[in-house]
Amino acid sequence: MKVAYQKFGAFTQMDQLMHSVKKQYEKAHPGWTVQLEPIQADENSYYTKLDLMSRSASTAPDVLYEDTFLVNADISAGYLAPIDNYLSKWKDWSQFTPTAKTAGKGQDGKTYGVPMGTDTRGLWYNKQLFQKAGLPTNWQPKNWNDVLTAARAIKQKVPGVVPFNIYSGKAAGEAATMQGFEMLLYGTQNQLWDPKSKKWIVSSPGMKDAMNFLNTVFSEKLGPNPQDALDPQWGTKVSTQLLPTSKLAIDLDGSWLTGTWKKSGTKPWPQYTKVMGATAMPTEHGQAPGKTSMSGGWLLSVGSKSAHKDQAFQLISLALNRQNTLTYDNLASQIAERKDVANDPKYKNSDPFTSFFTGLVKYTHFRPAYSTYPQVSDAIQQAMEAVMTGQASPGAAVSQFGSNVKSAVGPDKTTTSS
């Protein structure tokens, strides 16, 4: 039985879990062998390689590590098998929150994966650098301008560090779309999808404001050098090099970063609990609810071409039982989606930032994970890259984004918002 998952950069926790589950499964099922197939690739390359594997029955995995935003696209491509029949007999499924149960649900109403945990996003900041710049170490920006003001103060008073990191451009992949653009857009009055007309919004004031913010960051040199930010390894460098060595002051990033810095992580950094602070990303003008976040997560799914679907689900249910989920969520700094894990003192006390990032769930948004979302996301990354490199003005980038999305999904599937 083949299990395919991503093993890349600072993220080794999935590999640790799968090696442990392999031993547990083979011990409980004599005669069965679990063949682990870790894919050592960045996010975009991982999706491409997994797609290639899934196309042929001879290479398709029985169990695959699936990003929630790709569920509907991969259902349409015929890569995933529905697992409702298994879930109805699995007593642990009752432990998953209602939101968690929708994470792997397709547009057809069937479920195609079990969530491993979720995440939120906010602003990480270095309290020591803030002190040097004369900024408050209990920083709580109220609007976008407060974020830019802090970045400008860092640039002026603490030379030699990157004031502010926002992921942008094609190389950053979904991190650019979600941690970058959507963290801005969903802090405006606009969104990316119109639920009433069921169309993609390709132009709105919020979209233009988000691109203007991005333009300010890069034109004022408040962010990383574009050449650095366009390195596929940039995210790994941020978490393993820049933040631990105090070379980055503010990072718009995810709740999972501490998984890299714990004793079990790839860059143990005991001082992170004292050096780093975390605060919510504010809405554009501080308008209600005042804060915003984005949530995603990963699933374990059964491959549609698997000849061993019963065994594949058995492995998933083992991997995501209470104990294995508790271990993984603590290692990877995931927000628990099992109620029994969320209430476990070992989870609650696993990290000093757990309660803060869990508290952002009430302000969070989810990507409109329809089958054409990957194409929309790709167009966002192209538009961001054009702005960050100075190849297009924010207005021109939004216009080009609209043209690209219309070409990809059809003009009748798009709309504008005022």
pLDDT at 8 over 80: yes
- Taking residue 304's Cβ as centre, other Cβ atoms within 10 Å add up to 18
Model pLDDT for residues 143-174, shown as the tens digit of each residue: 999 999 999 999 999 999 999 999 999 999 99
Average pLDDT over residues 274-299: 97
Task: Give me the phi and psi of 117, to 5 degrees please.
Answer: 155, 170
Sign of CA dihedral 353, 356, 357, 359: positive
Model pLDDT for residues 339-387, shown as the tens digit of each residue: 999 999 999 999 999 999 999 999 999 999 899 999 999 999 999 999 9
Specify whether 304 is located in the same domain as 332. yes
Average pLDDT over residues 70-76: 95
pLDDT at 203 over 90: yes
Average pLDDT over residues 300-315: 98
Domain final residue pick, 294, 320, 351:
294
Average pLDDT over residues 18-29: 98
Structure tokens at 94: 């009752």
The reported pLDDT for the residue numbered 266 is 92
Q: How far apart are CA 124 and CA 107, in angstroms?
A: 35
Average pLDDT over residues 102-122: 96
Give the CATH number, domain containing residue 76: 3.40.190.10
Is residue 382 domain-resident?
no
Specify whether 42 is located in the same domain as 190. no
Strands, E assignment, 166-313: 193-194, 199-203, 248-254, 276-279, 281-282, 291-295, 297-302
Specify whether 59 is located in the same domain as 141. no
Is residue 405 domain-resident?
no
Q: How confident is the model at residue 10 (pLDDT cuts 50, 70, 90)?
A: confident
Sign of CA dihedral 61, 29, 264, 301: positive
Peptide bond into 289 cis (omega under 30): yes
Is residue 142 domain-resident?
yes
Domain that holds residue 255: 121-294
Specify whether 278 is located in the same domain as 159. yes
pLDDT at 79 over 80: yes
Is residue 24 domain-resident?
yes
Specify whether 31 is located in the same domain as 144. no
Q: How far apart are CA 164 and CA 168, in angstroms?
A: 12
CA 363-369-371 angle, to 5 degrees, is 170
Q: How far apart are CA 332 and CA 89, in angstroms?
A: 28
The reported pLDDT for the residue numbered 390 is 97
> How many domains, the chain?
2
Specify whether 129 is located in the same domain as 81. no
pLDDT at 9 over 90: no
The reported pLDDT for the residue numbered 358 is 95
Average pLDDT over residues 236-246: 97
pLDDT at 43 over 90: no
Mean pLDDT for all residues in the chain = 97
Residue type, 362: K
Model pLDDT for residues 329-339, shown as the tens digit of each residue: 999 999 999 99
Q: 381 near 182, Cβ under 8 Å?
A: no
